[in-house]
Chain A
Amino acid sequence: KHGFQYHDEL
C-alpha cells in the first residue's frame, strides 16, 4: 500500500 502504511505486526 502506498503512503499510509498499515501496521500488521505485533
Chain B
Amino acid sequence: MNIFRLAGDMTHLASVLVLLLKIHTIKSCAGVSLKTQELYALVFATRYLDIFTDFISLYNTVMKLIFLGSSFSIVWYIRRHKIVRRSYDKDQDTFRHYFLVLPCLLLALVIHEKFTFREVMWAFSLYLEAVAILPQLVLLQRTRNIDNLTGQYVFLLGAYRALYILNWIYRYFTEPHFVHWITWIAGLVQTLLYADFFYYYFESWKNNVKLQLPA
C-alpha cells in the first residue's frame, strides 16, 4: 500500500459517501444518473468476484463490501425508494448504457491477462469503469443547474482514478514485475474522460460561479 493508493481509495470512498449522504438526507437524486450507478454496481460485482475466495487484507475486504453495498443501495434508492425515485429524471437520463456493456464485454473477451472467467470479468470491469461516468456527464450537460453535491461526487470520482495512476507509476518503479497494461490504459482513458469536467469544475471554483457544462 502506498500513499497514492490510500488517497485514491479514500477519495473513492468519499465520492460514494457524498452521493449516499445526498440521497439519504435530502431524499433526492436530482442530477444523478441511475445508469452510471447501475454501471458502477456492475463494475464492482464483476471485479470483486474473489471477495470470499482470495483474502488479501481486512482493509481490502472491508472496502470491497463498502463499495458493493453503497453502489447497490444507491441503485435501490433511485429505483425503489418511494420519495427518492420521484426526483429521478428518467427523461433526461437516456444514455443507452447497454451500448457500453456489450463492447466492454467483447473487448474483455479479446484483451485480458488470462483467458479465465475471473480474469475476463476483471478486464470487463476495468473497461466498464472507464466509461461508466458517461451517462452522468451527459446528464450534467443536459441539466443546467448542477448542485454542489453532484459536482463534488463527479470530481471525487475522477480524482480517485487520477490518484491511482500515480499509484501505478509508484508501484512500477518500486516493485519488480509490476506490469498491468490493461489496468493502466483503462485507468488513463477513464481519467481523460473527466478532463473537460475538471476544467469547468476548476473554472467555476476559481471564479466562484455555479458549475455549468457547455451543452
Contact = CB atoms under 8 A, between A and B. Distances in A.
Main secondary structure of the interface of B (DSSP, over half): helix
Interface string B122-135: 10000000000000
B179 to A, nearest CB: 8
B26 to A, nearest CB: 28
Contact of A6 (B54, B64, B164, B179): B54
Contacts of B50: 7
Interface string B113-144: 11000000010000000000000000000000
Interface residues of B, number: 19
A6 to B, nearest CB: 7
A9 B4 CA distance: 12
A10 B64 contact: yes
B122 A9 contact: no
A5 B113 contact: yes
Interface residues of A, number: 9
Contacts of B113: 4-5
Given A4-B114, A5-B113, A10 B177 contact: no
B56 A8 contact: yes
Nearest to B180: A5
B180 A10 contact: no
Nearest to A8: B56
Nearest to A9: B5
Contacts of B64: 10
Contact of A2 (B56, B122, B177): B177
17 contacts: A1-B177, A2-B177, A4-B113, A4-B114, A5-B113, A5-B177, A5-B180, A6-B56, A7-B50, A7-B122, A9-B5, A9-B164, A9-B167, A10-B9, A10-B12, A10-B60, A10-B63
